Chain A
Amino acid sequence: MESDTLSVGGHRPPEATPFLAPARFGFLTRQFLILSQGLYGSGGFALLAISVGVAKIFKSRNVVWPEIRRQILNCGVRQIPIAAFMALALGFVVAGQLLVLKTVTGVQSQIYAGGAMVTIVVRELGCMAITLLALARNGTAMVIELGAARVKGETLALQAVGVDPIHYFVVPRVVGQSLSVCCLSFGFNLLATASVYVFLYALGFTLPLSEYLDQLATYLRPLDFLFLVLKPALFGAVVGCVCCQQGLMCPTKLEHIAAATTTAVVVTLVVCVLLNGFFVGLFYLL
């Protein structure tokens, strides 16, 4: 198939041309340069997606909004069982580790259950676990789906009939992924918090429910509630943006889709870790 290009909304998104890292650089340096290029490309693409999403928020609602609903169904509703399983498993693991801690140190570690849940699960692990789930199950599928659409020339065909590929493909996925990760993360934290208590009780720890809830209330800050929404929403948007960018910008050959998928996973992880660090810093400053 002959080439196609993507120029959307008057903007030229960063193209996925192979990075010509000079051979004289070492392996790590080249990987760093390639990663930097990936981050730069993803940043530019994210700005493009946001501008198109905002500018065309009410345009073609009859086409785009059903797509958003479809993405919420795929990225959110259909992930509930696996997210619930992960939450229960995490609750069991935390309860188990508190038991180990008690066994090893003799400390009544269940009294720290509430603090452990807030500090580790609610603030950090819950959001990251759901983001990884979203990336593994939906993000990679996005890269493959959009990469195949690009290779087959469907994106150009859409442009030829006046449909903005960014508006049609990317905006629903970013919005759907963001909302899904946010809601799933919230549910995950709730279920994990509840399951820790249940497993502790099942393992013979006597921790009154009121005391557990008091611990949670003591460790939770108002900022936690804001970040409970903001962080997973942002992480979900990152998954959507990066995966769409890698899919739509990969070279028009089928064999490049696998590499684009791998790049999407790596770039998403790096961006999310960096953002997480930013949120941690912000949390302790405020």
Chain B
Amino acid sequence: MRDVQLRHPDIVGTWRVNGVNWRIEPGDFWAVGGLQWSGKTNLLLAAAGVNSRIRGSLSLFGREFASLDEEERTRERLRIGLVFGGDGRLLANLSIAENIALPLRYLQGEDSETMGLRVTQLMEALDLVSVAAEPAGSVSLNHRRRAALARAVVLEPEALLFDQPFEGLDPRQRRWWRDLIRDLHAGSSPLLAAAATLVLATEDLRPWVSRANRFALLGEGTFQVVGDRDAMKACDLSLARELHLQDSARD
């Protein structure tokens, strides 16, 4: 992203985040810290090429996004998996298995055995087999989040963007997600064949200070790249102190 501005969702003509200059390299593991309503979700949507309410220059995998036609944009967008926070933004009228299979079925245009195997593999890896036939709206938050992850990785993206992966989860589930994200970055997860470039947006940087390798802060309408772990630990911005409190005993 070069000089990107993200529009405010409610106030017409107002820009929520200004001057985003951000380069994500293959193999990076970014942790972007920001308080509530700082624009984290907007930022991830823009980075994935989904949010069109931006000004400035966005390039995906070296290609200027604005110069691509719709088919090329979709192709580049599918190289990025977006794992939403909250309830995972699954379609409530579909079952868990149907939600996971939807991108594959839609893009391939016809159902096949390979498709079914891929979905089954993901459900087994994420412990979703027991709720596969349940409507998405009737399962637990944990299952919905895992199904959202399965839907995001079903097309084998090269990069994964996580929007507040710990939101609403208990400590056991947080550990599970932390280990999974570590494995995804290392390339040892059964979900993806290769290591993924990761970006996660969070309100609490503490679990990620020793795991991510690149950091940025989002607050008061600005996006600031901090740098690596050493730079993050040495950062004396007030927002950094709020997101990176010294008490790490909770983890």
Interface hit among A156-164, A176-184, A191-199: A156-164
- Bound-state CA distance A241–B148 (Å) is 29
- Bound-state CA distance A84–B78 (Å) is 48
| Contact A162–B74 (Cβ < 8 Å) | yes
- Bound-state CA distance A207–B13 (Å) is 70
Point out the residue from B37, B45, B78, B92 that lies within 8 Å of A162, measured CB to CB. Answer: B78
- What 1/0 mask marks residues of chain B from 1 to 20 whose CB sits below 8 Å from any chain A CB? 00000001110100000000
A63 at the binding interface (Cβ < 8 Å): yes
Q: Which of chain A's residues has its CB closest to B148's CB?
A: A157
Q: Which of chain A's residues has its CB closest to B151's CB?
A: A161
| Contact B106–A163 (Cβ < 8 Å) | yes
Point out the residue from B8, B12, B73, B155 that lies within 8 Å of A161, measured CB to CB. Answer: B155
- What 1/0 mask marks residues of chain A from 239 to 276 whose CB sits below 8 Å from any chain B CB? 00000000000001000000000000000000000000
A210 at the binding interface (Cβ < 8 Å): no
Q: How many of chain A's residues touch chain B, expressed as a range? A: 20 to 34
B70 at the binding interface (Cβ < 8 Å): yes
Point out the residue from B52, B84, B155 that lies within 8 Å of A153, measured CB to CB. Answer: B84
- Distance between B74 CB and nearest chain A CB, rounded to angstroms: 5
B91 at the binding interface (Cβ < 8 Å): yes
- What 1/0 mask marks residues of chain A from 60 to 72 whose CB sits below 8 Å from any chain B CB? 1111000000000
B89 at the binding interface (Cβ < 8 Å): yes
B109 at the binding interface (Cβ < 8 Å): yes
A12 at the binding interface (Cβ < 8 Å): yes
A111 at the binding interface (Cβ < 8 Å): no
A5 at the binding interface (Cβ < 8 Å): yes
Interface SS of chain B: helix, strand, loop or mixed?
A: loop
- Bound-state CA distance A157–B145 (Å) is 13
Chain B residues closer than 8 Å to A252, beta-carbon distance: 9
- Distance between B54 CB and nearest chain A CB, rounded to angstroms: 10
- Distance between A138 CB and nearest chain B CB, rounded to angstroms: 15
- Bound-state CA distance A72–B210 (Å) is 55
- Bound-state CA distance A59–B91 (Å) is 21
Q: Which of chain B's residues has its CB closest to A167's CB?
A: B106
A208 at the binding interface (Cβ < 8 Å): no
Point out the residue from A2, A149, A159, A161 that lies within 8 Å of B9, measured CB to CB. Answer: A2
Q: Which of chain B's residues has its CB closest to A58's CB?
A: B109
Within residues 143 to 186 of chain A, which ones have a CB less than 8 A from any CB in chain B? 149, 152-154, 156-163, 168
A105 at the binding interface (Cβ < 8 Å): no
B191 at the binding interface (Cβ < 8 Å): no
| Contact B53–A5 (Cβ < 8 Å) | yes
- Bound-state CA distance A2–B51 (Å) is 12
Q: Which of chain A's residues has its CB closest to B104's CB?
A: A161
Chain B residues closer than 8 Å to A1, beta-carbon distance: 41, 86
| Contact B91–A154 (Cβ < 8 Å) | yes
- Distance between A14 CB and nearest chain B CB, rounded to angstroms: 14
Chain B residues closer than 8 Å to A17, beta-carbon distance: 12
Chain B residues closer than 8 Å to A163, beta-carbon distance: 102-103, 106-107
Chain A residues closer than 8 Å to B87, beta-carbon distance: 152
**B positions within 8 Å CB-CB of A:** 8-10, 12, 37, 39-42, 45, 48, 50-53, 69-70, 73-74, 77-78, 82, 84, 86-87, 89-92, 102-103, 105-107, 109-111, 148, 151-152, 154-155
Q: Kindly list 12 other residue pairs between chains A and B, CB separation below 8 angstroms, not including A63-B106, A157-B84, A161-B154.
A: A2-B39, A3-B53, A9-B70, A10-B73, A62-B109, A149-B91, A153-B84, A156-B50, A160-B82, A160-B152, A168-B106, A252-B9
> What are 22 A-B contacts with C-beta separation under 8 Å?
A2-B40, A3-B9, A5-B45, A5-B52, A5-B53, A17-B12, A60-B106, A60-B109, A61-B110, A62-B105, A152-B87, A152-B92, A158-B102, A160-B45, A160-B84, A161-B78, A161-B155, A162-B74, A162-B77, A162-B107, A163-B103, A168-B106
**A positions within 8 Å CB-CB of B:** 1-5, 7, 9-10, 12, 17, 59-63, 149, 152-154, 156-163, 168, 252
- Complex A-B, nearest 9 residue pairs according to Cβ-Cβ distance, in ascending order: A3-B9, A157-B89, A10-B70, A161-B103, A7-B52, A2-B41, A160-B82, A153-B89, A60-B106
